[in-house]
Amino acid sequence: MLRIAVPNKGRLAGAAAQMLREAGYRQRPSDSDLVCRDEPNQVEFFYLRPHDIATYVGSGDLQLGITGRDLLVDAGGPAVELLDLGFGGATFRFAARPETITDPAKLPGHRIATSYPGIVRGYLAEHGLDAEVIRLDGAVENAIGLGVAEVIADVVQTGATLRQAGLAPFGEPILESAAILIGGPDRPVDGGVTQLQRRLQGVLVARSYVMLAYDVHAETLDAACQLTPGIESPTISPLHREGWVAVQSMVRRAEVHRIMDELYDLGARAILVTDIHACRL
Ligand SMILES: Nc1ncnc2c1ncn2[C@@H]1O[C@H](COP(=O)(O)OP(=O)(O)OP(=O)(O)O)[C@@H](O)[C@H]1O
Ligand SMILES: O=P(O)(O)OC[C@H]1O[C@H](OP(=O)(O)OP(=O)(O)O)[C@H](O)[C@@H]1O
Ligand SMILES: [Mg+2]
């Protein structure tokens, strides 16, 4: 049975479980359950602290896991990223009081508080910088006000927490994080693993595309198909009405309204958009 690590709480937990449900997997009925067996799919889900997931997958005890890219980098391998899951986006950055330090080159001699010491030590080593790293469990923005450190390195999404603490980010983001699917370094080619990957890819496509259907005069079909080329090729069906055809094509959700406007201007009519609930390309 395939064994998969899923965040048990925190920012990624709800969205990870939702994505697995959309991919057709059973998820735990209660937030306090730590294991959930999905017999029909032959998968067992283990609900673990997000910071521990790369360790379980890296050791090979679990075959796959969902975690944050920053958490994978912090663990320092050997697990590897397999797929960006399109949620949980955030940056990982240095921040300080703006009047104190604004350049990462000036980090030596400062204390850096963080919940991600692996990322910070990796950055310092890569840039030949020497600074003290202080590991804290969370709420690291308080570390500067409380005199524990002069600099923090933390997850920044909206930046509201930094602003509230009177801090400003500096330097380029250390990394751009997102929720990812991870696997062990020497994954055997396993049918269950490829099936899960394909299903999650299907969810990503279903979320970012819609199905567009419309009727158009055969004379303008080529121009219409240029607007809606689809992923493979649009489906064209004859209509009872002489000289007209029906077209069906997948289009990016973000572009659908612009495309509908342009199709209408071309003379297309009965333009309908429907959600895709699942797909396998
Ligand atoms: N606004 C955010 N704040 C913190 N983490 C975020 C945010 N947005 C996305 N993430 C991602 O969520 C993961 C951290 O999740 P985790 O559950 O450890 O933290 P949390 O939600 O802050 O929970 P905890 O209260 O245990 O700290 C990281 O991969 C991080 O990049
Ligand atoms: O840029 P923002 O949108 O403000 O989000 C980032 C903040 O949210 C997280 O903290 P969280 O609330 O999870 O508390 P924690 O520090 O205890 O993990 C993270 O550690 C930052 O502090
Ligand atoms: Mg947190």
Summarised one tens digit per residue, pLDDT across range 45-68 is 999 999 999 999 999 999 999 999
The pLDDT assigned to 188 comes to: 66
ipTM of the complex: 0.94
**Is there an atom of ligand 2 within 6 Å of 23 CB?**
no
Dist. CA 245–CA 217, nearest whole Å = 6
Domain with CATH 3.30.70.120 in the chain: 209-275
Summarised one tens digit per residue, pLDDT across range 23-34 is 999 999 999 999
* Distance (Å) of CA 134 to CA 113, 131, 143, 148, 207: 5, 10, 10, 8, 40
Summarised one tens digit per residue, pLDDT across range 64-83 is 999 999 999 999 989 999 99
What would the CATH number be for the domain defined by 209-275? 3.30.70.120
Domain with CATH 3.40.190.10 in the chain: 2-87+178-188, 90-176
Please tell me whether the peptide bond between 78 and the residue prior to it is cis, using omega within 30 degrees of 0: yes
Ligand 1 surroundings by CB, under 6 angstroms: 7, 10-12, 50-51, 68, 70-71, 88, 90, 138, 155, 157, 177
**Residue 161 alpha carbon to ligand 2 centre in Å:** 7
**Residue 96 alpha carbon to ligand 3 centre in Å:** 18
Q: Percent of the chain beyond pLDDT 90?
A: 96
Q: Pull the structure tokens for residue 26.
A: 């059973």
Dist. CA 113–CA 104, nearest whole Å = 14
What is the fold, at CATH topology level, of the domain defined by 2-87+178-188? D-Maltodextrin-Binding Protein; domain 2 (3.40.190)
Dist. CA 279–CA 218, nearest whole Å = 29
The CATH number of domain 90-176, selected from 3.40.640.10, 3.30.1370.100, 3.40.190.10, 1.10.375.10: 3.40.190.10
The answer to whether residue 256 scores a pLDDT higher than 70 is yes
Question: What does the chain look like in DSSP terms, one character per residue?
Answer: -EEEEEESSSTTHHHHHHHHHHTT----SSTT--EEEETTTTEEEEEE-HHHHHHHHHTTSSSEEEEEHHHHHHHTSS-EEEEE-S---EEEEEEE-TTT---GGG-TTSEEEES-HHHHHHHHHHTT---EEEE-SS-TTHHHHTTS-SEEEEEESSSHHHHHTT-EEEEEEEEEE-EEEEE-TT----HHHHHHHHHHHHHHHHHHEEEEEEEEEGGGHHHHHHH---SS--EEEE-SSTTEEEEEEEEEGGGHHHHHHHHHHHT-EEEEEEE------
Closest residue CA from atom 19 of ligand 1 = 10
**Residue 159 alpha carbon to ligand 2 centre in Å:** 9
**Residue 11 alpha carbon to ligand 3 centre in Å:** 8
Dist. CA 187–CA 235, nearest whole Å = 38
Q: What is the mean pLDDT of the chain?
A: 96
Question: pTM surpassing 0.90?
Answer: yes
Summarised one tens digit per residue, pLDDT across range 4-24 is 999 999 999 999 999 999 999
**Is there an atom of ligand 2 within 6 Å of 164 CB?**
no
**Is there an atom of ligand 2 within 6 Å of 128 CB?**
no
Summarised one tens digit per residue, pLDDT across range 87-106 is 999 999 999 999 999 999 99
Confidence of residue 281 (pLDDT cuts 50, 70, 90): confident
